[in-house]
Chains A and B, each alone.
Chain A
Amino acid sequence: MKFKFIVSLLCILTLVMVGNSYVNAGDLDRFSGVKGTLRIAGGTAHIPVMKEAAKRIMGMNSNIKITIAGGGSGVGIKQVGEGLVDIGNSGRKATDDETGRYGLKMFKFAIDGIAIVINPKNPVVKMNKNQIMDIFSGKLNKWKDLGWKDRGINIYTRDASSGTRKVFWKKALNKGEISKAANFAKSHGAMKAAISVDPYGIGYISVGYLDNTVAPVSLNGVSPTLDTVRKGDYKIARGLYMNTKGEPTALTRLFIDYILSKEGQKIVAEKGFIGVR
């Protein structure tokens, strides 16, 4: 199996690409003549980038099939480690224990900030760290105490598998408690959708997911934007990683190279993240 892939890889490298009106020839060339299935799972923040890349690759070569599942960073690492998927996405670095146990190789492909978000109807767009910690722990539970209506603060959080949650908990909450009354959102999209329809909600999503259906909160005076994350002013940031078990080969390698290529990094930027090149 591996031999066949290596042979076809060598053949590809000597072929001239047939242009496709869909995207620029070039970074996608590497996929021509390749066959196979690629299975990706894990972090939900990564999904828009993965989906766009998959769309372009599959549009250009219908012999390639890419399946994408979510589940959160924990799931990504677990499944790639157990050999259930080829690429496991995570929004946090794999722990030493995980890397050792599974023999993981990490590929950082984007930098991302985690923004605290509220509903656009909510005027409380400035908060400091203590307030955030008190809100999420449940100590501060009325919007009245922050200068708005007398309504309860509806906290939204992610489940234990989420890398976003882990980084948020570590960096924004200083590993503080999250209230038991918190509502669970299954993924990034779910969190955003929930906050966009709940005027009294508060949650956290990747800066790349921000749009006008939710409003970002500035933390200690710093607004979560691509600039502030890039410059390092906004401290709640993390890398987005693709993980593989051992060295990636064949189609997996091609996909990772594509994401890290000029075109792939353009997709990363389009989806609201910061590239690594």
Chain B
Amino acid sequence: MKSSLEKFAEKGFLLSAILSASITIFIFSFMFLFSMPLFKGGQIVQFFRLEWNPYDGKFGILTMMVGTGVIASFALFIATPFGIGCSALISVFSQKGLGKFLRKVVEFMTGIPTVVYSFVAIFLLVPLIRDIFEKGTGMCVLSASIMLALLILPTIVLFISDAFNSVPKSYIHAADALGASPVQKLIHIIVPSAWKGIISGLVLAAGRAVGDTLISLMIAGNALQIPRGLSDSARTLTSHIALIIASDYESPEFKAIFVCGLILFAFTTLIVLILRLLGYFEILRER
């Protein structure tokens, strides 16, 4: 016995949900549509080459893919140990003292705009790196990775410490009753129980690291080369899109951006699927 108002409202809500969900589909379609002309001619292969030189007709974005891979991986490499360490401090070792303060600091960090991180890094970190390495401009893989690690650290820390906190208290009490030290508790009880949460946090952070634009745009140097070392300048897919956006939107140059977009979209979908597998979203929804 639903009144017509009820039915109308339900339809309205449904429409909104469909609209929201279809945005994802739209984004994918646009990326796909605009790069489709390239699939047809088999031209797509040309994008997976190394050289990017539009004037010569070379549109290889492989360099940028490597750049993204290197910078994101290194950022994760730096952030993971620190992330786990800080989470352990917050949830296990110092729940009332420094750990509590640390958690507030991390929550504060989630509010820091990316552009502010990059801005400060340009004037603080970059000259430092330049002087330490004594070569290069300081705008390189290392600088970008360090700032990116700082950016994704809150995600990792908050996630993992929540995972640590949701380990059943009975396990912890049992360990305490048997006389385990905090380190033993951490390594033998907490981490094994919470591994799903840990991996989810890391995967989420990986997604963020790959998708970030500003840090690599402002700090990584944007050179069109595959970085051979930490002090080499490199370019990521995201900053490539930002740099090229001003070009002619008929040429292959512009279409190359859509291929970059497709790759990033595919990567995001992959991350989401992995997270689903790990049950991340169920955990999130239960909270």
Contacts and interface: CB of A to CB of B under 8 A. Distances in A.
Decide if A and B are genuine partners: yes
Interface of A: 71-72, 74-75, 78, 151-152, 154, 159-161, 180-184, 186, 194, 197-198, 200-201
Interface in B219-237: 221-225, 232-233, 235
A71 B246 contact: yes
B40 interface: no
A63 B248 CA distance: 33
B6 interface: no
Given A78-B247, A159-B243, A160-B247, A154 B55 contact: no
Interface residues of B, number: 22
Contacts of B232: 181
Contacts of A154: 136-137
A201 B137 contact: yes
Contact of B135 (A72, A78, A151): A151
Given A182-B223, A183-B222, A184-B221, A152 B248 contact: no
B134 interface: yes
Contacts of A186: 243
Contacts of B136: 152, 154
Identify the 8 closest CB pairs spanning chains A and B, nearest first: A184-B222, A75-B246, A180-B225, A152-B135, A154-B137, A71-B246, A183-B221, A180-B224
B12 to A, nearest CB: 37
B139 interface: yes
Contacts of A159: 243
B182 interface: no
A69 to B, nearest CB: 10
A181 B233 contact: yes
A198 B130 contact: yes
B192 interface: no
A160 B221 contact: no
A183 B140 CA distance: 10
A74 B137 contact: no
B168 interface: no
Contacts of A194: 137
Contacts of B223: 180-184
A201 B130 CA distance: 12
Nearest to B228: A181
Given A75-B247, A78-B247, A160-B55, 17 more contacts: A71-B246, A75-B246, A78-B248, A151-B134, A152-B135, A160-B54, A160-B247, A161-B246, A180-B223, A181-B225, A183-B137, A184-B223, A184-B243, A186-B243, A198-B130, A198-B138, A200-B137
